[in-house]
Structure formats: C-alpha cells, structure tokens
Amino acid sequence: MSAAKSAVRSGGGHDEGDDVGVATGQAVAGTRSVAGTRGPVLGAPLFEYLLRLGDDRLILGHRLSEWCGHGPILEEDIATANMALDLIGQAASLLQLAGEAEGQGRDEDALAYFRDGVLFRNCLMVEQPNGDFGQTMMRQFLFDAFSVLQWEALAQVSHTGVAAIAAKSLKEAKYHLRHSSGWVVRLGDGTAESQARVQRALDSVWRFTGELFGRDAVDDAVAALGIPVDQAAMKSGWDAIVDEVLARATLVRPADGPMQRGGRTGRHTEHLGHLLATMQIVARSHPGARW
C-alpha cells in the first residue's frame, strides 16, 4: 500500500471513460438548441466528487446490510453488520459534505432518499446483487483494496473536510480489507468447491474493476480545489494488493477484458433501481416527515 503516497499527485491522463460535460451555463428558454451535450451533464465538480465517494459507501453498505441475520456463521453476521455500519457512517458524512458543497439545503438524508437512480454516482461494482457469501466477499475485497488506497490518498489532501473523513475512514477500511481478504484466501484455498465458486465470483465481477480507476473532468476539476488524486498510482497499488491476495488464495487473476463503466455519470446497471426502490420506499411514501 506504499503506492498510496505517490497517488497524491494531480495529473494522470484520462482513460477511455465517458465523455463528460461539467455544467457551465444554462440554456435560455426558447433559444435552446436541439444539439445537446454528448454524454451526461454533471453538477459542480466538488458536489459530484463527494457523491461518488459517498454513494459508493452508501450502496455497498446497503448491500451488506441485506445479509443481516442471514450469514453463514453467527460471527459473520456480526462482522458484515459492522462493515455495513462503517460504510453507511462514512456515506452519511460524505453526503452531508456534498449537501454543503451543493449549497441548496439538502442534507444526507435528502440525498440518500430523494434522488433517482440516474443521479447516483456510485461505481457499478457496489450495486451488483450480493449473490452467495463468496461473491459478496470477493466484491468486498476488490472494493476494500481500492478504498484503502483512496482514503490513504485523500487523507493527505489540503481540503480539510475530505481529509478528516478520509483519516477516520482509512482505519475502518483497513480492517474491512483484512476481513474480506481473509475470506478470499480462506475460500480460494479451502475446498475444491469453494475455490471454484470464488474463482467464478472473481471472473464475474472483474468487468467492473476498471471503472474504479477512471479519471474524467470531475477529477481534474477537484484536483484544482485541493483534492488531487493520481488514479494511475492508485491502480498500481491496487494491482499489488490484489495480486498478493489472489496468489495466497490460489486464484487466477482474470485477464482485463472489456470493462463496464457508467456509474460515475449515472449510467447504472438495472440492479440499482431495485435497490433504491427498497431503500427509499418508506421515506418517499411520507415526504416531509421526520423519523
């Protein structure tokens, strides 16, 4: 994880991600051109960036909370609940900060419960259904390795709000990584069945890993606001962690095939809508209510 230090650097080229337009001006009614922007139009960069950080944790925390009471062993019911709590706690802080950055009076609950799917900015990986416990832990491991590096980088940025959340979250993410990588190794190097299952889980989720290290206009813009992160350096740090754990797990790292992207700009998989339908149903059924 020493790659993290060098990840705090602005720069790094854009990858082949979405062509993103950052909002610049308003069309005047009546004079609006039929020729629109290619790709989705995003909000202010800091707001967008904080949503990306917060939504990753909110959606993954929600997915983990679906395990509540259904884990393979009692100890794991406790552990997954613990990770879910940490992630949703991080999300609450990040979305609160996002609301402040937006400056329109939305708090973390308004952002979590009253946004439609296309306005969510989480990566596609975290919204994928849990599958079996092996699939859940594999997704968790790949995200945790990313998350530790991301928090390490963000803990050193000059934006104090982000740096403070990162410092606290880093401790939690390191514990999560220890837990999830432990399971990846145990399942990979367990029985023939567990190895086959968890290898399939890895092969299946791999197509969502490229999106974690994408860089676009939002990243460039927040670098200028004191949040510079070098995605390329993070990627090499992530490769090192993943290779080391997969080797111990006797699992084969998949070849980098075509990668699925779109979450950062609101182009999600179909799974997110169903997740939000569940998550938001009570809050949306009682607009304006306090809970």
Q: What is the DSSP letter of 155?
A: T
Closer residue to other proteins (CB): 133 or 206: 133
- Tokens standing for residue 144: 């945790």
Closer residue to other proteins (CB): 74 or 255: 74
With CB under 8 A as the contact rule, the residue among 4, 125, 185, 212 that binds other proteins is: 185
Q: Annotate 36-94 with DSSP letters as a single string.
A: --SS-EE--HHHHHHHHHHHHHHHHHHHHHTTTT--SSHHHHHHHHHHHHHHHHHHHHH
With CB under 8 A as the contact rule, the residue among 52, 62, 159, 176 that binds other proteins is: 62
Point out which span in 27-35, 59-67, 151-159, 223-231 binds other proteins (CB under 8 A).
59-67
Alpha-carbon distance of 115 to 177, in angstroms, equals 30
Point out which span in 29-37, 60-68, 232-240, 263-271 binds other proteins (CB under 8 A).
60-68
Alpha-carbon distance of 265 to 234, in angstroms, equals 21
Q: Is 278 in the site for other proteins (CB under 8 A)?
A: yes
Point out which span in 36-44, 76-84, 120-128, 200-208 binds other proteins (CB under 8 A).
76-84
Phi, psi of 21 (to 5 degrees): -100, 125
The answer to whether 195 touches 47, Cβ cutoff 8 Å, is no
Q: From the CB of 182, what's the least distance to other proteins, in Å?
A: 4
- Tokens standing for residue 115: 């946004």
Q: Is 291 in the site for other proteins (CB under 8 A)?
A: yes
Closer residue to other proteins (CB): 66 or 100: 66
Residues 244-263, interacting with other proteins (CB under 8 A) = 248
* Contact pattern for other proteins over residues 11 through 50, marking x by CB under 8 A: ----------------------------------------
Environment class of 71 (CB within 10 Å of its CB; exposed 0-12, middle 13-18, buried 19+)? middle
| Residues sharing a CB contact under 8 Å with residue 273, sequence separation 6 or more, in sequence order | 117
The answer to whether 61 touches 87, Cβ cutoff 8 Å, is yes
Q: What is the DSSP letter of 16?
A: S
The answer to whether 71 touches 60, Cβ cutoff 8 Å, is no
With CB under 8 A as the contact rule, the residue among 71, 226, 254, 273 that binds other proteins is: 71
* Contact pattern for other proteins over residues 89 through 108, marking x by CB under 8 A: x-xx--x------------x
In the complex, the residues that contact other proteins under the rule CB under 8 A are 58, 62, 65-66, 68-75, 77-78, 81-82, 84-85, 88-89, 91-92, 95, 108-109, 112-113, 132-134, 178, 181-182, 185-187, 189-191, 193-194, 197, 248, 278-279, 281-283, 286, 288-291
